[in-house]
Amino acid sequence: MFLRIDPSSGVPIYRQIVAQVRRSIASGALAPGDRLPSVRGLAGEMKVNPTTIVKAYSELEHDGLVETRHGMGTFVSAERVDRRVEARSIVEQAAERLVVEARQLGVADEEVARIVQDTLNRVPKGGRDGS
């Protein structure tokens, strides 16, 4: 599993990890039963405190997305995670951030809607790279 963190983003590192794992589950890159890296392994790889990884994994477990099997590791929940619900949740959070920022900048709601529609028309359906 490849995760990238940006220490200068202003978003806590554990939240960045949670968001990336959520996206990986929503996209199908992580499937039910897949094992996540160990806390120590991921902390070493990312050069962060293991407590940061524990906090991220705990939040994911609280949300029902992963489960910890003592002595075995942390796995994507074997329970049926509805990828569509997870994907919608991620998009709703992004939309909320967009609206909040637009309103803080004084951009009219109608202009935000036009920007979103223009973006939908411009970006290929598979994503930025057209896949």
- Give residue limits of the domains in the chain: 13-76, 83-122
pTM of the model: 0.69
- What was the pLDDT predicted at 131? 44
127 falls in which pLDDT band (50, 70, 90)?
low
- What was the pLDDT predicted at 106? 95
129 falls in which pLDDT band (50, 70, 90)?
very low
**Do residues 60 and 4 touch, judged by C-beta distance below 8 A?**
no
The pLDDT tens digits for 24-66 are 988 889 989 999 999 999 999 999 999 999 999 999 999 889 9
Determine the CATH number of domain 13-76. Answer: 1.10.10.10
